Structure 1
Amino acid sequence: MSKDKHPGKNEPGTPEPMPGPAAVPGENSDGGYNAGMAVFSYIIGGIIVWSLIGWGLDYLWGTRWIVLAGALLGAAGGFYLSHMHGLTSSRKPTGGNGAASGPSEDGNSNAK
């Protein structure tokens, strides 16, 4: 009698293949990391810059609350910038051909 071979099962003693994006070399596997760092930089940069502006205005005007308003404005502005750059969207283009990827496949364009 012979042993039944089950497709998808490894022989005993052979290592299992690694799942996930790490198993696909050559792909842009750090795109999520880069986008996350860009979002973090926009938000932290906005908070720092607008807090310093608020601190300066507080010093000039003798108030104490503009630095907090500057920090909130900087965080909102950083998130807005990252959203406008398309870094906060979790949607991916479907079908592989987006409108911004180039001319249509048949070569026709709307320009006349």
Structure 2
Amino acid sequence: MPLRKRKPSPDNTSSVSHDAGDPAEASNDGGYNAGIAVFSYIIGGIIVWSLIGWGLDNLWGTRWIVLLGALLGAAGGFYLSHMHGLTKQRTSAGESSADRGPSKDGNSNAK
């Protein structure tokens, strides 16, 4: 990417930034990172809780707790990603409110 100089800051030092080029490219980085974080939470939860279930299965002589642990880990991963705000639908900069669907307050002008 080409480099460009910014205006000098108040303390008379100039900084160099990367030219983003396409504004849509800058807004899409967060979606990819959020997707990787959601994937990590879910897979990590499944692995950790499956191992805990496997250990309890071996300790107690059962065979079903590992499955319960996997389901608990997946649910916990979804919960964590939701609580961290990673599952919200993001809108692009050029999208109007009409493109997102009906209003949330139920007031529509359709007759």
TM range (shorter): 0.5 to 0.7
Q: Cα–Cα, structure 1 residues 26 and 78, in superposed 2: closer, same or farther, change >3 Å?
A: closer
Calculate the TM-score normalised by the size of structure 2.
Answer: 0.59
Considering fraction of residues, name the structure with more helix.
2
> Hey, what's the Cα distance between the residues in 1 that align with 2:84 and 2:38?
9
Query: Does 1:46 pair with 2:22?
Result: no
The equivalent residue for 2:31 is 32
Size of the aligned set, in residue pairs, is: 71
The equivalent residue for 1:57 is 56
> Hey, what's the Cα distance between the residues in 1 that align with 2:25 and 2:66?
46
The equivalent residue for 2:76 is 77
Considering fraction of residues, name the structure with more strand.
2
Structure 1: 5+ residue runs without aligned partners?
1-21, 93-112
Q: Cα–Cα, structure 1 residues 37 and 58, in superposed 2: closer, same or farther, change >3 Å?
A: same
Task: Please report the RMSD computed on the Cα atoms of aligned residues, expressed in angstroms.
Answer: 1.9
Q: Cα–Cα, structure 1 residues 44 and 26, in superposed 2: closer, same or farther, change >3 Å?
A: closer
> Hey, what's the Cα distance between the residues in 2 that align with 1:52 and 1:26?
39
Structure 2: 5+ residue runs without aligned partners?
1-20, 92-111
Q: Cα–Cα, structure 1 residues 85 and 54, in superposed 2: closer, same or farther, change >3 Å?
A: same
- Spell out structure 1 runs of 4+ moving beyond 6 A: none
Percent sequence identity over matched residues?
A: 80
